[in-house]
Amino acid sequence: MTIICPYCLSELSERAAACPQCGGRFEGRNPVGTLPVGTVLGGRYTVGEIEQVDGEGILYRGAENHGRFRVTIKEYLPLTLAAERGTDATLRPKLGSEVLFKTTRMDFADLYRSIQRITPANGLEAVLDVFEENNTVYAVMENPGGVPLGRWLETHPGRLSPEQVCAMLQPVFDGVAAMHQVGLVHRGICPENIRVLENGRARLTGYATVGLRTAGSGLHEQLYEGYSAPEQYSTTEFEGRYTDEYSLAAVVYRMVCGQSPVPAAQRLVSDSNPRARTLEPSVPEYLSEVLWLGLKLKPVERIQTVPQLFKALTSREYTEELTRSLPRPAPRQLTQPDEEQKQHMLSLRNLLAAILVLLAILILLMLWGMVSQGLHTATPPAASSSVSAPESTELEEPVTLAPNFVGMDYDAQVRNNHNYVGDYLFYVTMEYSDTVEKGKIIRQEPEAGDVIEKGGTVSLVVSKGPQLVQMPDVIGFTQEGAVSELESRGLTPSCFMVVNDGSYAAGCVVSCSVDAGTSVEVGSVITVYIAADPSVEITAEPPAASDSNSESSASSGETPADDTQ
């Protein structure tokens, strides 16, 4: 078994108290109950010093022994459920917490294995390996480098334009969208978990299970004031894609305004969060409107998806369209003082109405007496040759207004719904959409609230979901040719250099993360592996292209190519 120094990555002949090369000490560097520096996990990863501790586990600095590159290692160790670790490093649950310990450990493993399957995705910290040992689970991740976004903002004072913000965060938006496509929700998006790399592009880190990011779950929760969504403060509220949308909107708010939004828990009591344009007048009006919609407390009134948010941040026209499609907030419910004031006003109105009725009756009685007296004293007029017929009144037919079908599932909620089928005729057309779920109604004509006759026709546009394209065969293409071919089909290439022993033409495509002929969504990230020049020494590796070749690529010594496309 190879033993290396986690500090300088030099190979050691045997376990020692310190590295003979750099002098770095191993003993006593990590607290009791955690893994000592120099511990080897899975036969290939060396544990370094502790970097961070949360309610779910411990994050260690580490190294991969075969390829000699730095990694981070997350150990599942829930503080509220785990007992003290023995000298054999085996982790044991507390008495009475065995079931919850086991289920949350399974959640931890499932989360990181799911992320491993979608990375390398642009903007996400790649998960390289997940394995079980010491009665717990370990997730090994790449070391992305860079600095946290919060620290980057402190060292780069001044207003950021919307264009700068979107360019920096686009990889993060893409990564979160990739998580959502496989049913994952991050729940921890904040400046602390976004790292800005040397090339100015951002990458998202800080994965965690739902228990860590929800108050009252049984774990010692980790929420981020100003960035965690309102639904994360209650175990009775459902969390979804709109939860990450709230957090991303909060990050953009911080970047353009210079301060974080008011924490959601405080806003639920009294919503005093100012609009972005109020804090920073230079923020465009449409951008201020987007952030206001993105930070709505009620999920149903909020922008629903990350692609919708990003598109709105970059398009005034789309913002106007999105504003019209979102549900309007429900009328404000009256508080107790409001109710009392309302009852008081109603009492005054009733009293005034009664007085007016009595006065009207008195006046009518007086007029009737005067008229009756005149009839007895005056000569009756001749009868008119014609009698005026009372004016006829036309009865207005009830007006029918078109229901709101936008956002409804056509097959499940409209097509066979007897409340609609007997009253309207539907003309349906299908349309691709990156923002509206397949089967949901995008728009209608006439619009909701417009007058429509009974039995009238309603035109509905139903989403076909994201557009699919066929993955082209780019094996053997030059890097430039492969990038051009993929982009022409609406796909996003992400290129990595791999070691070339002379078997491949330098600068040409060796393999891709998706097989040729496979149907993929437009906008999907395709990892393209490029053969390096045989004379170039490569010491780092990219994440694996798939589960089947993850083991082989981990020891091949690959490194990212110029990934600026």
The 10s digit of each residue's pLDDT in 514-533 is 999 998 888 888 999 998 88
Same domain, 168 and 54: no
Do 159 and 121 lie in a common domain? Answer: no
- For position 515, what pLDDT does the model report? 92
CATH, residue 132 = 3.30.200.20
pLDDT of 342: 58
Banded pLDDT at 482 (limits 50, 70, 90): very high
Give me the CATH number covering residue 492: 3.30.10.20
Instruction: Please indicate, yes or no, whether residues 189 and 48 belong to a single structural domain of this protein.
Output: no
Q: What is the mean pLDDT of residues 385-399?
A: 45
Dist. CA 192–CA 204, nearest whole Å: 9
Q: CA-to-CA distance for 226 and 246, rounded, in angstroms?
A: 10
Residue 219 domain boundaries: 147-325
212/124 same-domain check: no
Sheet harboring 457-463: ordered strands across?
425-431, 457-463, 441-445
Q: Report the run of H or E that residue 48 belongs to, with start and end.
A: strand 45-53
359 within a domain of the structure (yes/no): no
Same domain, 173 and 193: yes
pLDDT digits (tens, 9 = 90+) for 540-563: 555 554 443 333 333 334 444 544
Q: Note the helical H segments in 138-297.
A: 149-155, 162-181, 241-257, 264-269, 276-279, 285-294
Taken in order 314, 318, 324, 325, is the CA torsion positive or negative? negative
Residues 432 and 456 in one domain: yes
Mean pLDDT of 204-210: 92
Residue 138 clears pLDDT 80, i.e. is over it: yes
pLDDT value of residue 207: 93
State whether 455 and 472 are in the same domain.
no
Domain boundary among 111, 142, 173: 142
**Predicted local confidence at residue 359, as pLDDT:** 82
Task: Identify which of 308, 293, 323 has the alpha carbon closest to the alpha carbon of residue 437.
Answer: 308
- In-domain check, residue 341: no
**36 and 136 part of one domain:** yes
Distance CA(285)–CA(133), nearest Å, equals 54
In a domain, 404, yes or no: no
Residue 333 forms part of a structural domain: no
Secondary element (H or E) of residue 485: helix 479-488
- Please choose, from the candidates 111, 98, 99, 100, the residue with its C-alpha nearest in 3D space to the C-alpha of residue 137: 111
Strand partners, 203: 195
* Closest C-alpha among 273, 206, 260, 209 to residue 239: 209
pLDDT at 375: 54
Q: Could you tell me the CA-to-CA distances from 204 to 183, 293, 470 in Å, in that order?
A: 17, 23, 29
Q: How many domains does the chain have?
A: 4
Residue 467 has pLDDT above 70, yes or no: yes
CB atoms within 10 A of CB 155: 8
**What confidence tens digit (pLDDT) does each residue in 305-324 have?**
999 999 999 888 888 888 77
Query: In this predicted structure, what is the pLDDT of residue 35?
Result: 93
- Can you give the pLDDT at residue 413? 87
Average pLDDT of span 244-254: 96
**pTM of this structure:** 0.59
Q: State the pLDDT confidence band at 237, using cuts at 50, 70 and 90.
A: confident
Same domain, 176 and 309: yes
Mean of pLDDT over the chain: 83
> Is the same domain home to 309 and 165?
yes
pLDDT value at residue 114 = 92
pLDDT at residue 384 in the model: 40
Residues 448 and 473 placed together within one structural domain of the fold = no
C-alpha 475/C-alpha 473 separation (Å) is 6
Residue 554 phi/psi, 5° resolution? Answer: -65, -25
Using the 3D structure, point to which of 142, 170, 193 is the last residue of a domain. 142
Instruction: Look up residue 324 and give its amino acid.
Output: R
- % of the chain with per-residue pLDDT over 90: 44
Who has greater pLDDT, 401 or 149?
149
- Residue 555: the pLDDT is 35
| Cα distance between residue 132 and residue 112, in whole Å | 12
pLDDT of residue 344: 58
Q: What is the 3-state secondary structure (H, E, C) of 423-472?
A: CCEEEEEEECCCCCCCCEEEEEECCCCCECCCCCEEEEEEECCCCEEECC
Q: How far apart are CA 508 and CA 449, in angstroms?
A: 58
Q: Return the amino acid letter for 155.
A: T
Contact 440, 409 (CB under 8 A): yes
C-beta separation of 137 from 233 below 8 A: no
Would you say residue 331 has pLDDT above 80? no
Which among 271, 294, 325 is the end of a domain? 325
CA 86 to chain centre: 40
CB of 553 closer than 8 Å to CB of 80: no
Q: Say whether both 222 and 253 belong to one domain.
A: yes
